Amino acid sequence: MASALVKDLNQVVSGPPIYDKARFGSIVLRSETAQVLLQNPTGQQLARLNKLLLEDAYPGELAKSVSTGWVVNDGAMASTGSGRGVIYTAKDYSRYRLMFTMRHVSGNPDHQACVLIFCSRPQDGERPLDALGGIQFQVPNGGHWDYRPGMNNNGGAEFTSVTKTKFDVHEWSRVEILADASQGVARMAVAQPLGSKAVEVLGFKDPAAGKVGPIAWQMHNAGLLDEYKDVTIEWEPKDDLITVR
């Protein structure tokens, strides 16, 4: 029943505008909701408005989305642009193959879409590290950042730009990341257009960085709208990068 309710709520959030002056006449709207409403939003910003309106209408039943900032939009996990933050896996991973399809919709201010590996999972009641203290791969063109405590820089020799690409970030790309926490290594390959042969874009190697932990998708700053779908995670893969063959 709970999963059905979540599905129904996601359909409402991703659907047409739910705001009506008479319907919400007795509802006290947060300043954040009122500001978004004045923008007459469309697309993912409309989904964000619908979610905020539902939360304001049912404050005791629905959790606030300030700390999450993600919705399901047409089968894709989509950032709402509400603010800097991450969404991360419920399980921790050591050696794995991550595959997903993504596109960057828009940003104001703009920034590349970001995936984080070798992250530190926050404990209950603990303030999480910025970007979970992980290693950032920017998709699809291979930018990067090192968020480990004491680092917070774009790295050095541990990152290798394998191929200089100029993929259109607004088009769908298929991404493969092969990571091994025990060795502190990771490789990323990207295919665009979908169905084409992928090219290896970025590599990382630093044994000190390897950490068993969650995988995360990062909304780098407010105003960013990114979409991810068809996500798969393979435990202990026996093969090397499969999309570059």
Query: Which H or E run includes 185?
Result: strand 185-191
Pairwise pLDDT comparison (31 vs 122), residue with the higher score: 122
Longest dimension (CA), the chain: 60
> Using 50, 70 and 90 to split pLDDT, how confident is the model at 153?
very high
Residue in the structure block whose two tokens are 């909304």: 219
Is the distance from CB of 147 to CB of 211 less than 8 angstroms? Answer: no
Q: Find the radius of gyration of the CA atoms of the chain.
A: 19
Q: Compute the CA torsion angle 21, 223, 67, 152 (nearest 10 deg).
A: -170
> Using 50, 70 and 90 to split pLDDT, how confident is the model at 66?
very low
pLDDT recorded at residue 124: 77
Mean pLDDT of 191-209: 97
Mean pLDDT of 151-169: 96
pLDDT recorded at residue 4: 54
> Using 50, 70 and 90 to split pLDDT, how confident is the model at 67?
very low
Per the prediction, the chain carries an average pLDDT of 89
Q: For 82-112, how does the pLDDT look when each residue is reduced to its tens digit (9 = 90+)? A: 889 999 998 999 999 999 999 999 999 999 9
Task: Give residue 113's identity as a one-letter amino acid code.
Answer: A
- Strand-pair category, 224-235 with 95-107: antiparallel
> Using 50, 70 and 90 to split pLDDT, how confident is the model at 9?
low
Task: Give residue 87's identity as a one-letter amino acid code.
Answer: I
pLDDT recorded at residue 3: 45
In this predicted structure, which of 16-25, 114-123, 138-147, 198-207 has the lowest mean pLDDT? 16-25
Pairwise pLDDT comparison (12 vs 159), residue with the higher score: 159
Structure tokens at 234: 């393979």
Structure tokens at 193: 């257009």
Pairwise pLDDT comparison (74 vs 141), residue with the higher score: 141
> Whole-angstrom Cα distance, residue 111 to residue 84?
11
Structure tokens at 15: 């659907």
Mean pLDDT of 15-24: 88
